[in-house]
Structure 1
Amino acid sequence: MKNVKNTYRIGVVSMAAAALLFISSCEKYLEVENPSNLTQDAVFGSVSYTNSAITGVYNRLMGDDGYGSRLAIIYPQSADDFKTSGSYNALDRRGISEYGVAPQNTELNNPFRQLYEGIERANICIKFIPLSDPYNNGTESEKTQMRKFLGEALALRAWFFHEIIRNWGDVPASFIPSADQPDLYLEKMDRDEIYDQVLADLEQAITLLPWQTESNDPSTRITKGAAKGIRARIALARGGYSLRRDSRKMERRTDYQSYYQIARQECLDVIERGDNGLNASFENVFKSLHGQSSLDASREMVFKVGAYGGNARTDSKLGYGNGLRQNTSSSWGYANGGVRAVPTYFYEFGIGDTRRDVTLGLFELTAQDNKQVVTSINMTDAKFRKYWTNIHDQSQSLGIDWPLLRYSDILLLFAEADNELNSGPSAQAVQALKDVRMRAYGGNEANVGAIPIGKDDFFKAIVKERLLEFGGEGIRKYDLLRWNLLKTTLDETREKLRQFRLSEGVYEEVPNRIFYKQSAFTNSTASEELTSIDFAGGAMDEVFFKPTPGGDKAAPPEGYTSINWREAVTNGYIYGVNESGAVDGSGYALYFKSGQSELLPIYNEIVSENYRLTQDYGY
């Protein structure tokens, strides 16, 4: 390894209209050199430059190796909502989605390194901000700003560590800049120790940060409410199950309830403060990520990762790499739509639930800008749509932000923690769940249904509601992991797929094929685009819940096109082997292995760079 310089020299460069701290790092993980054009005294001696330094920490959240692609649309697959499209390969993104990833998979490399770059940048800020002149001797306004910057750095470092831990488990951890680290060959630290440190850091950050209504910061900056929500998320991860190195089993610690208490209180603080609320329109929550921030006046988006710049480092491929698919020749521009829904997910939503038509892309745009209905295995995660942006060419970087924390998450995390601590939900927890369901059904209380009040039934209701609320937002797999329900849910979903294919159980009336007519895309609401499609046999909410007119093998009526629905799900999709015995690698979570697949391997080159680093969990 190269020697780490003993000076802290930080380059500040301009990127677009905003200043950005750029700390260059060599390819070696945790080995950082800081070539200079400004010293640390110059950077942290200025409120403006310190803001640039903090912007540089935020910068490591986005890009192809952050929430612009891999951390958002590859690593969180697969659960009972979405999976990656295409055939299995242990050495590409499909290996991650199918739980058969090899340590040589290059998709494991850069995200790991980028998260540690974020930690290093935060560590430098956390060290030097409290030593700076504006922090200690500035005007009251300068001191307030510098305290805010310190709070942001502490919160961002906590989230970087959380993202690393939930994907890799125990990892090396340093809470000081690399230049202060006497030995960069760090061993793995127990995740509980890391979590306890960052939970304490977040507690401090909360005292330093203003509420959003006090700062008027955009939701791309962390405010007090966001830090509280992040602390709640991390507390529930600390109090939840995870795959342990020594036992190779999913375990949680006996003191887990103390972390549920943290989560409950932090969420309650946000709820009672009232800075944030549910957006009356579920669709507008996601349109607001596409450059239409005025559509979220209620501030449901507590914290989002901002995308900008039109490049692989700072922008996102959301809406292109995932999202509703658009033909190359469409006047709305090409979008690949590489994340696909599990067919049974469609039937988890109740009739009238407005989230279904926003979450699931049931059609794609043709070259002629018509709506072409897709088969059951080709529905996409439609919360991200290129046509919602103002970029309608062949561009891949679309400036779509990533929803890291929403107010509905605050409500449901509170309800979950409250239920666990009280052996049943309080009236406030019941109301929190009901509020989320009321919005989902457009305020129609008759469709909301009764909220259970027993502990186990309420927990099951939370599990179901989080599936419906957060599909495609990179949350579901990690929820199932902390509840120790991932293996169970994968098995249950595979059985549902079998029943779906064979028209059994709740899927008895599901059609084998769907007949429809292509119609012009008009860029109306998600629901209106679907209700305007002419389906043979009635409205959409009839056709998809009754057998194919004329029988499973019936030809389509004149003028209608046939697409496979139940018939699209094969034995190969369910089990990986088709009726003929041919291997089908495009199926659902085919290679999951308990005691291993709950975490990812560390990229083998990273392991080889540190003789104290081990490859665990059977990889």
Structure 2
Amino acid sequence: MKKTRSIFITGCLMGALFFNSSCNDFLEPENLSSVSEARQFDSVSDTFTALVGVYAQLAGDDGYGQRIALILPHSGDDYRTSGSYSCNDRRGVATFGACPTNTELNGPFSKLYTGIERANFCIKNIPLSPVYQTGTEEDKKLMDRYLGEALTLRAQFYYELIRNWGDVPYYPVPAADMAEQYLPKTDRDVIYEQMIEDLGRAATLVPWRSEGGTPNARLSKAAVKGLRARIALARAGYSLRRSPQIMAQGSNPQKYYQIALDECRDIMNHPGEHSLNPSYENVFRSLHTNSQDATNEIIFAIGAFGGNSRTDSKIGYYNGLKHDDNSSWKGGGGINALPTYFYEFSKYDLRRDMNVGIYKVNNTNQAELVPANGFTDSKYRKSWTGITGPSQNLAVDWPMIRLSDVMLMFAEADNEINGAPSQDAKNALLAVRSRAYAGNLGQVGTIPSDKAGFFNAIVKERLLELGSEGIRKYDLIRWNLIASKIAETKQKLTDFINGTGAYANVPLDIYYKPSVYDPTKTAQQNVTAIDLYTVGADKSEVFYQPTQSATLPVGYKKIAWRSGVAATYVNDPAGGYAQYFEPNKRELLPIYFEYIQNNYNLTQDYGY
């Protein structure tokens, strides 16, 4: 027990640099020396225990089990957090109006730095391990792998800090080895450079999935390369700078587009490792059972387990399809899909009914339509876990990197480097779209051949493909489109409310009969099972035609569809969409106030 305690105690040091947080869950009254630190890495098995401690910082309520995955990424032009505004809770984050006293920001910041400290501990000590002198060749290979995983996890933690808070203090070694404990901010590009270098090294140490027998909850070579591509695109793109306080692109972007292109191409050139799953839905169903999807499209996922707030997840309970309290499941509904997001999809796109939940499961386990202001993200569903009752921790994994994301990053980087898409880039985009239109390939449309047209197609495709995966807001920021897309979405929502423009034929109300909800059916089947009232028309067209009767038909219920969205949805101090967004100011979050108080070199920037 003593050897693992040294990891956890050192992991607490970083949090102590910012505020007097407690690590009581790990501390015991024992005197640990540098000898016990060294002993933690004197065998392959003990080193793996230390590495597991790094992985552990990904999970839980303050990690990708809730706050980092489900609260910090909203909102873009797809989703928003449900409920009314408060600067001190999750709704403040969603409306770009978070205060430095917002407690949703406290835990994630601390957790990420604790993860960095634990990773630094491994990165320092693994190369010093006697295993490299006395171990077998297989042991040495495993130690190299562990080092590569630690380097990758540290990069992920820093990437998450940077994309939410911008420049942050940079600790390249364990806190105890730093001459100065209280560091100022380091320019993000400096950190990015080191992370890109580290990931290049890690990719030579971590095996491919098939070589290492790697489940998707553990890093493989493809995951390392995918993260390197993602960070390279962030480095090439725009971000809110401190001086001057403007959105500015990173220097030498072509260099980083090339890195992203090369890494994504290498992943795509190994189809035996990861390929597109023919079923978009089954990719996400697998997350609910901690299993691999059939073709390993999910390259890396955050594992969840244990039924507690530290190692498990509330994915599917906090967010996802709404299940009423007296249904068999209870949960979901914490995140709302924008009414207009439903209409970004064509009726032939199989992703629509996965990304947008237009119904809830009521107290008698029936599927009944919800008003357009009550749509949810429905890739995640408590009813897909088999867990019933009031349970909140559902052990649903979080998808970090998927092959379709890699293919779209490849296509984007190719277009930027060549000034127009190559045939390989077009094929990558076409493959993603074709999966979405399986059975209706004639609806796929034409892939643009010019740079601007292709870029716009990538922007749209990532909106449709990666909905509710915690990516969209950060895409819009790195493209410097966040301000224009918010303005565009406000106008779309206004048109939706008024029934004008693209929404002129969207019905005010829809008449329907509930159907029995069956979690074994596909998302699309559960939607089509709902009896929609129509007069001489295809029922799939009901969402795209004006209300078909002035009076309620016998036996049907009425749901306020377009009429369920009021003007306050767009502009309202109590919680209008992106109500408090300000360009060149709110692209980043404030640092929780106690960190500023406890580190005299740390500054609160961007007007907070």
The secondary structure found in structure 2 opposite 1:269 is helix
Task: Tell me the alpha carbon deviations over residues 121-142 of structure 1, each in whole angstroms, 9 at most, x when there is no partner.
Answer: 0000000000001134310110
Q: Distance in 2 between matches of 1:330 and 1:119?
A: 41
Change over 3 Å in CA distance of 1:21–1:29 after alignment to 2: closer
Matched residues in 1 for 2:557 and 2:177: separation? 67
Q: Please give the alpha-carbon distance, in whole angstroms, between the structure 1 residues aligned to 2:516 and 2:9.
A: 47
> For 1:600 and 1:36, how far apart are their aligned partners in 2?
39
Instruction: Choose which of 595, 598, 609 in structure 1 pairs with 2:584.
Output: 595
| 2:422 is equivalent to residue 423 of structure 1 | no
Match of 2:230 in 1: 233
Q: 1:342 aligns with which of 338, 359, 363?
A: 338
Shift of 1:253: 2.7
- Which residue identity does 2:523 align to in structure 1? A
Structure 2 residue ranges without an equivalent (≥5): none
Runs (5+) with no aligned partner, structure 1: 1-8, 14-19, 577-582
Q: Deviations over 1:441-486 (max 9, x none)?
A: 1153211111001000000000000000011000000000000000
Aligned residue for 1:287? 285
SS at match of 2:40: helix
- Which residue in the other structure is 2:275 paired with? 277
Aligned length in residues: 593
2:388 to 388, 392, 405: 392
| Structure 1 residue ranges (4+ consecutive) displaced by more than 3 angstroms after TM superposition | 20-24, 29-38
| Structure-1 residue corresponding to 2:191 | 194
- Report what 1:73 is aligned to: 70
**2-structure distance, mates of 1:614, 1:415:** 38
**Residue number in structure 1 paired with 2:559:** 563
Shift of 1:586: 3.1
Q: 1:218 to 1:329 in 2, by over 3 A?
A: same
The answer to which of 410-419 and 565-574 deviates more is: 565-574
The counterpart of 2:600, out of the listed 572, 588, 611, is 611
**What is the aligned partner in structure 1 of residue 49 from structure 2?**
52
CA contact (8 A) 1:11 1:23 kept: no
Contact 1:302 1:405 in 2 (8 A): yes
- Of 459, 462, 465 in structure 2, the residue corresponding to residue 466 of structure 1 is 462
**Distance in 1 between the 2:198 and 2:332 partners?**
40
CA change 1:303–1:42 in 2 (3 A) is: same
8 Å CA contact 1:11–1:36 kept in 2: the answer is no
CA contact (8 A) 2:290 2:396 kept: no
Give, as a single letter, the amino acid of the residue that structure 2 aligns with 1:491: A
What is residue 544 of structure 1 aligned with on the other side? 543
Distance 1:612 1:30 in 2: 11
- 1:579 aligns with none
2:9 paired with 1:11: no
Q: 1:587: how far off?
A: 2.2
- Preserved CA contact (<8 Å) 1:10 1:36: no
CA spacing shift, 1:136–1:597, aligned 2, 3 Å: farther
Q: Which amino acid aligns with 1:367?
A: N
1:479 aligns with 2:466: no
One-letter amino acid of the structure 2 residue matched with residue 352 of structure 1: Y
Give the secondary structure class of the aligned counterpart of 2:300: strand
Q: 1:443 to 1:407 in 2, by over 3 A?
A: farther
Q: How does 1:47-446 map to 2 (within 5 A)?
A: 47-274=44-271, 275-291=273-289, 293-294=291-292, 296-331=293-328, 333-442=329-438, 444-446=440-442
- Deviation digits for residues 270-299 of structure 1, max 9, x if unmatched? 0012210001100000001001625x1210
Aligned-partner Cα distance in 2 for 1:483–1:36: 51
* Superimposed CA distance per residue, residues 79-129 of structure 1 (whole angstroms, 9 cap, x where no aligned partner): 111000000001111000000111111111110000000000000000000
Residue 40 of structure 1 deviates from its aligned partner by 2.3
Contact 2:4 2:50 in 1 (8 A): no
AA partner of residue 453 (structure 2): D
- CA deviation map 1:6-58 (0-9, x unaligned): xxx75259xxxxxx967552652468998667922322111111111111101
Q: Classify 1:85/1:29 alpha carbon distance in 2 versus 1 (closer, same or farther; 3 Å).
A: farther
TM-score, with length taken from structure 1:
0.93
Distance 1:587 1:324 in 2: 22
Aligned-residue RMSD, C-alpha: 1.7
- The residue matched to 1:348 in structure 2 has which SS? coil
Give the Cα–Cα distance (whole angstroms) in 1 for the partners of residues 134 and 194 of structure 2. Answer: 29
Q: Letter of the aligned partner of 2:517 in structure 1?
A: F
Match for residue 586 of structure 1 among 550, 554, 575: 575
Once the two structures are superposed, residues 322-341 of structure 1 have per-residue CA deviations (whole angstroms, 9 ceiling, x without a partner) of: 0011111112x210320000
| Percent identity between the two aligned chains | 50
Aligned-pair CA distance for 1:567 = 1.0
Q: Is the Cα contact below 8 Å between 2:3 and 2:39 reproduced in 1?
A: no
C-alpha offsets along residues 199-226 of structure 1, whole Å, 9 cap, x if unaligned?
0000110111111110111011111110
C-alpha distance after superposition, 1:51-72 (max 9, x if no partner)? 1111110110110001110011
Q: How far 1:248 sits from its partner (Å)?
A: 1.1
Query: Match of 2:372, SS?
Result: coil
Q: Secondary structure at the match of 2:546?
A: coil
Alpha-carbon separation, structure 1, partners of 2:383 and 2:280? 17
Letter matched to residue 541 of structure 1: S
